[in-house]
Amino acid sequence: MNTENEKVKVLIIGSGPAGYTAAIYLSRANLTPVLYEGLQPGGQLTITTDIENFPGYPQGVSGFEMMTHLKTQAERFGTVIRAGIATKTDLSTYPFKITIDNNKIIETEALIIATGATAKYLGLPDETKYMGSGVSACATCDGFFYRGKDVAVVGGGDTACEEAIYLAGLCNKVYMIVRRDQLRASKVMQNRVQKTNNIEILWEHQVKGLFGDGGVEGAILWKKKDTPQQEEVNIKIDGFFLAIGHQPNSAIFAEYIETDPIGYIKTIPGSSKTNIEGVFACGDVQDPTYRQAVTAAGSGCMAAIDTERWLNEK
């Protein structure tokens, strides 16, 4: 294994709105951060449809274009941006040691984790086929594009109920596709769903596939799959929303950093500080609640300011 060591002052892992915003602030403070883009350069926004809810873009902007703007802005002030994935960490000694692509070790005085979270998918080929053309994992991001149309939400937990209620305020009809014969969601959320007239729950249904010419036009479902009553059902929809959870990309830090049971990094409330001094977290990797570009960017700003102050105090 060809290992080489490099010493840096601040290392940022991840390149979504949180990582890039942290980089903009730190580079303007003359700290010349080094940022590794990770598995998905630009983060989840690069696979979303147009973004219309980020302040400052009255006409909307594609996720890819917005991330390109943020990257250019960070580079303009001196951020060193590199392709590469953090594959191993050692936060037990100082400076911290992060291995990139299994062969390069970076020693850093301060670390910002902005690795994001990955939406869970059913694993159907059609999800990939129609990604950005009817398939979404974020109702608040993409619901607006389906005003007055019929959509489906997959899932039976609190997130699925929240997404369905949100979409019901915009769409003509919302189907909830629920695998079991009951919702996993809290009683409060269940009651809200049942009181919403244009939500129809399809109990004991599972998704077989999607169909449509160039975009989603409908879903093929199994009703009571693997039982004598099994039948195939088609529904006409324009949008297909997955609400079966997110997986925060925190596994390589889990040995050292405190997380909640799902894996979201715990930060000290009102800050980006983790349980290890000098290690900060921002964006979706520490945010199970909002998961928006604008909140991720805000938390990236917090991480940069917390980092700068911590380094100054040292």
- Alpha carbons 45 and 48: distance in angstroms, whole number: 5
Catalytic positions, written as ranges: 138, 141-142
Task: Name the H helices within 35-186.
Answer: 63-76, 125-129, 139-142, 158-168
- Alpha carbons 143 and 150: distance in angstroms, whole number: 11
3-state helix, strand, coil in the chain (%, to 5): 30, 30, 45
Residue with tokens 């629920």: 178
- Alpha carbons 81 and 225: distance in angstroms, whole number: 49
With beta carbons less than 8 A apart as the criterion, state whether 247 and 263 touch.
yes
- Alpha carbons 258 and 20: distance in angstroms, whole number: 24
- For 81, list phi and psi in degrees, rounded to 5: -105, 130
Query: How many Å is the Cα radius of gyration of the chain?
Result: 21
- For 153, list phi and psi in degrees, rounded to 5: -120, 130
